[in-house]
Amino acid sequence: MKLSHKLLIILLSFICLSLAVTVMLARWSFEQGFNEFLKSQERERLAKLSVQLVRDYQSNNEQWNGISLSLNSRLAPPHQRHRPPPPHMRDLSMPPPHEQARGVKTTLVSMTGEFITGDLMDENSHEHMVYPITYRGNSIALLISFTPDDQPSVIVESFLERQQTSILIIGAVSLSLCFLLALVVVPKMLAPFNTIANAIKQLSTGQYHQYTQLDNKDEFGVLMQQVNQLAATLESNEAMKKQWIADIAHELRTPLTVLSGELELIKLGVRQTTPEQIESFNQEVQRLSRLVEDLYQLSLDDMGQLSFHFANVDLAKIVNEQIRVGLVLAQAKGIEIDASHVTSVWISADTQRLSQLVMNLVVNSVSYTDAPGNMRIAVSQDDKFGIFSIEDTPPGVSREAQRLIFEPLYREDKARTSRQNGAGLGLSICQRIIKGHKGEMHVSSSELGGLCIEVKLPKQREQHV
């Protein structure tokens, strides 16, 4: 079922419920008001009748004998009792027409409840109203109007039925108008949704460059902004994916081209196989091996399969071991390493991954530092972390590029890119290892003029080996 149909059904259900409650409340309110109107009419009739009965009582020597509520004899003197009452008294002798239709009867009783005159009440009679008759400040009798239960109120019931029919007609007309209004409003309400759905459909077909503008200031507008941001992210990721493939192809093609060319020359007899030539082949093979291993490590992390085996290790010990390995590369290039600020700090880490992390950072610094140059390596701690930092001399990295150097295959298009010792995956792998240790890595400009990389890893309490 379409969303528009669901929304239409919900609106109509709500409208129907509201109308049903409104109709019931309107009918109840009308009946209550109508009953109050009938009571006020009856009270007025009894008041007028009471005035006339007091006159009869006074003219009859303050006795009730001979006084009647009958239409022909109640008000007239004895010699006129067979004549109809005067016109101004005819509405006092009987209930008004609507009360007659309801079967309202009237009886006169004493204050002790003894029947005097009027209609007799039986056990099926329903008392309607009691009105006291007062004479000279004292109550002398009671007028009681009542309705026998076995007499239907034809006129009143007919009137109420007509009113109920009118209310139902009004409700039906209102429902029809609301339905027509919903048919117009719902499509307009869902128009932004259809626009967003079309935009998402374009994204699913790979059309990331097409942005959709929606001027709504409501939730639809916010959702459209999020969709456009998603399109921008997907477009950026698609460009990075293409760049990744091109860079990987370039990194694989370079050593393969060198190997292929050298082997072709040897095959043609132009160049003889020498130890130097074999060493050149070995370097290119190692370069390929490192690239494949780095790609494998990144793929393991992407699949969530980069495993860690944590133990309590001395960060300074790992750093010193990797410095000894990197010192050979640094001395060959004319770079001095200052490791005088390395102090013992125990942390919880994977020894193999931690060694890989330190080695990648040391090799990266040696590779991208001009000779002659200097590197400064330090290990310290604070309350929560063991801290490893490495700084080097120029060239440096711009602030804009510092946040990008951890992207796979990234190289800044300036001084530090002229080195071709790696594929640009080392720092990306370092970032994955630090993330696996729940640590932090910060990059900034070094006081020495180059780059400063600071790594924070959660530490453990100091232990003695």
Compute the CA torsion angle 322, 328, 332, 335 (nearest 10 deg).
Answer: 40
Model pLDDT, residue 162: 81
Q: Using DSSP, state whether 459 is helix, strand or coil.
A: strand
Q: What is the predicted pLDDT for the residue at 301?
A: 67
Residues with Cβ within 8 Å of residue 304, at least 6 apart in sequence: none
pLDDT confidence of residue 105:
80
Q: Give residue-wise pLDDT tens across range 298-346.
A: 777 667 667 788 888 999 999 998 888 888 888 888 899 998 888 888 9
Averaged pLDDT score across all residues of the chain: 76
Domain range 310-458, CATH architecture: 2-Layer Sandwich (3.30)
> Among residues 203, 213, 212, which one has the least CA distance to residue 233?
203
Mean pLDDT, residues 38-45: 84
Q: Is the pLDDT of residue 103 over 60?
A: no
Confidence of residue 98 (pLDDT cuts 50, 70, 90): very low
In sequence order, the 6+-apart residues with CB closer than 8 A to the CB of 26 are 167
- 441 alpha-carbon distance from chain centroid: 34
pLDDT of residue 127: 58
The Cα–Cα gap between 232 and 44 comes to: 82
Can you give the pLDDT at residue 456?
Answer: 92
> Of 131-145, 263-277, 301-315, where does the model show the most confidence?
131-145
Q: Please, is 74 exposed, middle or buried when counting C-beta atoms within 10 Å of its C-beta (0-12, 13-18, 19+)?
A: buried
Mean pLDDT, rounded, for 189-209 = 79
Crossing angle (nearest 10°) for helices 154-204 and 3-59: 160
77: left (phi over 0), alpha (psi -120 to 50) or beta: beta
- The amino acid present at 324, given as its one-letter code, is R
Name the pLDDT band for 377 (thresholds 50, 70, 90). Answer: very high
- Residue 385: pLDDT above 80? yes
Condensed to tens digits (0 to 9), the pLDDT of residues 42-80 reads: 888 888 888 888 888 888 888 888 787 753 334 333 333
pLDDT of 287 over the 80 cut: no
Confidence of residue 238 (pLDDT cuts 50, 70, 90): confident
Which class is domain 219-302? mainly alpha
Which residue has 């393969």 as its token pair? 256
DSSP code string of 122-164: -TTEEEEEEEEEEETTEEEEEEEEEEETTS--HHHHHHHHHHH
**What pTM did the predictor assign?**
0.47
Report pLDDT for 84: 46
Residue with the bigger pLDDT between 347 and 237: it is 347
41, two tokens: 């009419």
Percent of the chain with pLDDT over 70: 78
Residue extents of the structural domains in the chain: 3-156, 219-302, 310-458
| Residue-wise pLDDT tens digits, 144-168 | 887 655 444 566 677 777 877 887 7
- pLDDT recorded at residue 412: 55
pLDDT of 95 higher than 60? no
Which has the closest alpha carbon to 227: 246, 199, 263, 247? 199
More confident of the two residues 67 and 103: 67
CA angle centred on 69, ends 63 and 74, rounded to 5°: 70
| Dihedral, 426, 429, 430, 436 alpha carbons, nearest 10 | -170
